[in-house]
Chains A and B, each alone.
Chain A
């Protein structure tokens, strides 16, 4: 297979399969999770300030008191790489062009130098978080294959994308093909691993906040 055939495959068949599996998995799991439901809480609702679904959605985005000091790497590293990923994925002009090409939607992007910096910072933060996971005995003990695997499939698209833009190691088009392939792997894996938190995060926070809010407990 030459560069053109490989690139053509990831641009057509591969992309079709990946997006197909992604949509199938996401819809399947969303339907499954949100149809589970819970028994109605028949007790009289108690009211406490700051105890509601919406409160929890926001509160959980901030570290609980004292936790930032105890585990700064998880919090600061986590913030940086999540925000960095969002910038790189959604505000890089070629990515917006891709979405426009597929769906017709478009929005303004950021200058590529800034996105380039964001990519480097994101990768650095991800590496720091990984090293922390390896170094801390408790974290290492709690880590399963899925944790290492999802880290890798998240990291590779950023790395290959950045290398393609910077023209490092391989010819641009081959690196681009590898970048697209790595994103396709991420798309396939996302609905079936813990990466699905991208979709369930706010829903589950809302649920927990509401259930506890009914009992008058702000969580």
Chain B
């Protein structure tokens, strides 16, 4: 632990205005009112660095790749100025037992105070043997590390909801962090990969206000996931006017019309791509002419094809043949039964004569 952050920054030659500017941009990204940027700057300037342990499980390192491309602030800035990243397999110099020791030390020294970041899902199939580190299963390591942490950040769709490993038929029995850990505050930062600035924003919130940001019912920070891609999409006006691109290269596509009919999942996807954009604000999928895949939603992988409009059937019909055969068979069976009934009635028929009727009256 060191002094207030603003002093650390000043020693590194980062001016107050740079910091204010950063906070203004961050507040804009978090869709907070511009005044909140000032409040964050004040609080964060006085904050101290928390210890952070980053556990990688059944993942593709895409989330780490994403955060290392965080532009504002840069990764180095993040690691050295805002947090004390004590364990991150991919980025740390130490390896093997040394690395594991660093993790255990950080856990012991900062018991109850460290922030745990998890990327990747946790396989539960065959006792978790599908993914192990240092001979121990992921589920084991997670439970151990979660015990002493202050809060968990589930980084990426895999840690948040199971992601691609959990996609049908889920061969490894992959689950999310929140499926295993129930007694710690967990913030989900889904996305495949998640937006680096969202990660930064959550950490900044934690540093400035000492708490995790307000979460929605899927455990995501409302600041970034409160609105759908569609709500904030710059192509939204075309959707409202009913102007849709029908193919990826027609006149509508060239005019930048809405991509709904080309399978865009923007209307049901909660994420901040439309405002924060990607690659340091260069562009984002819809701006590049491709519909949203819905990667920050649970089970997006099984949502019926990336290029199928949301209003179209997700899969080809499955039971048509079976249902037709069964229906026809049932119909034939019932008609056979009806014929049987009819012929039985016919054979049981006895003619009634006038004398019979007179007798009975």
Direct contact of A and B (CB under 8 A): yes
Which residues of A are at the interface with B, using a C-beta cutoff of 8 A?
2-5, 7-8, 11-12, 15-17, 19-32, 35-36, 94, 97-98, 101-102, 112, 171-173, 176
Contact between B311 and A176, CB atoms less than 8 A apart: yes
Asked if B33 lies at the interface with its beta carbon under 8 angstroms from chain A, I say no
What is the total of A-B residue contacts with beta carbons within 8 Å?
Answer: 113
Cα separation A21 to B323 with both chains bound (whole Å):
7
The answer to whether residues A23 and B323 also contact, given A4-B303, A36-B338 and a CB cut-off of 8 A, is yes
Q: Which secondary structure dominates chain A's binding surface?
A: helix
The answer to whether residues A2 and B297 also contact, given A8-B303, A94-B311 and a CB cut-off of 8 A, is yes
Contact between B319 and A3, CB atoms less than 8 A apart: no
Contact between A17 and B314, CB atoms less than 8 A apart: no
What residue in chain B is nearest A167 (Cβ atoms)?
B240
Contact between B298 and A5, CB atoms less than 8 A apart: yes
Contact between B335 and A35, CB atoms less than 8 A apart: yes
What residue in chain A is nearest B332 (Cβ atoms)?
A31
Asked if B126 lies at the interface with its beta carbon under 8 angstroms from chain A, I say no
Of A102, A112, A176, the contact of B313 (CB 8 Å cutoff): A102
Cα separation A3 to B298 with both chains bound (whole Å):
10
Contact between B313 and A26, CB atoms less than 8 A apart: no
Asked if B326 lies at the interface with its beta carbon under 8 angstroms from chain A, I say yes
Q: Could you write out 16 A-B pairs with CB less than 8 Å apart? A: A2-B218, A3-B268, A4-B299, A5-B297, A8-B299, A11-B313, A11-B314, A17-B319, A20-B320, A27-B330, A31-B327, A32-B331, A32-B335, A35-B335, A101-B313, A171-B228
Give the contacts of B313-361 with A (CB-CB under 8 A): 313-320, 322-324, 326-328, 330-332, 334-335, 338-339
Chain B residues lying within 8 Å of A112, measured Cβ to Cβ, are 242
Chain B nearest CB: distance from A112 CB in Å? 8
Asked if B304 lies at the interface with its beta carbon under 8 angstroms from chain A, I say yes
Beyond A11-B314, A31-B332, A35-B338, 15 additional pairs, beta carbon < 8 A: A2-B298, A4-B265, A4-B299, A5-B299, A7-B268, A11-B310, A12-B313, A15-B313, A15-B314, A16-B315, A16-B318, A28-B330, A28-B334, A31-B334, A36-B335
Contact between B299 and A25, CB atoms less than 8 A apart: no
Cα separation A171 to B270 with both chains bound (whole Å):
13
Chain A nearest CB: distance from B290 CB in Å? 18
Chain B nearest CB: distance from A8 CB in Å? 5
Chain A residues lying within 8 Å of B339, measured Cβ to Cβ, are 35
Chain B nearest CB: distance from A189 CB in Å? 16
What residue in chain A is nearest B242 (Cβ atoms)?
A112
Chain B residues lying within 8 Å of A11, measured Cβ to Cβ, are 304, 310, 312-314
Chain A nearest CB: distance from B274 CB in Å? 16
Chain A nearest CB: distance from B331 CB in Å? 2
Interface size band for B? 35 or more
Cα separation A29 to B335 with both chains bound (whole Å):
10
Counting chain A CB atoms within 10 Å of each CB, the highest count among B242, B316, B317 belongs to B317
Chain A nearest CB: distance from B260 CB in Å? 9
Cα separation A176 to B260 with both chains bound (whole Å):
13
Give the contacts of B279-318 with A (CB-CB under 8 A): 294, 297-300, 302-304, 310-318
Of B269, B298, B313, B328, the contact of A28 (CB 8 Å cutoff): B328
Chain A residues lying within 8 Å of B268, measured Cβ to Cβ, are 2-4, 7, 173
Contact between B304 and A12, CB atoms less than 8 A apart: yes
What residue in chain A is nearest B303 (Cβ atoms)?
A8
Asked if B77 lies at the interface with its beta carbon under 8 angstroms from chain A, I say no
Contact between A31 and B297, CB atoms less than 8 A apart: no
The answer to whether residues A32 and B327 also contact, given A8-B314, A101-B312 and a CB cut-off of 8 A, is no
Contact between B298 and A31, CB atoms less than 8 A apart: no
The answer to whether residues A98 and B313 also contact, given A27-B327, A27-B331 and a CB cut-off of 8 A, is yes
Of B299, B310, B320, B334, the contact of A23 (CB 8 Å cutoff): B320
Give the contacts of B123-172 with A (CB-CB under 8 A): none
Chain A residues lying within 8 Å of B226, measured Cβ to Cβ, are none
Chain B nearest CB: distance from A177 CB in Å? 9
Chain B residues lying within 8 Å of A19, measured Cβ to Cβ, are 317, 319-320, 323
Asked if B256 lies at the interface with its beta carbon under 8 angstroms from chain A, I say no
Chain A residues lying within 8 Å of B304, measured Cβ to Cβ, are 8, 11-12
Contact between B323 and A32, CB atoms less than 8 A apart: no
Counting chain B CB atoms within 10 Å of each CB, the highest count among A3, A17, A20 belongs to A20
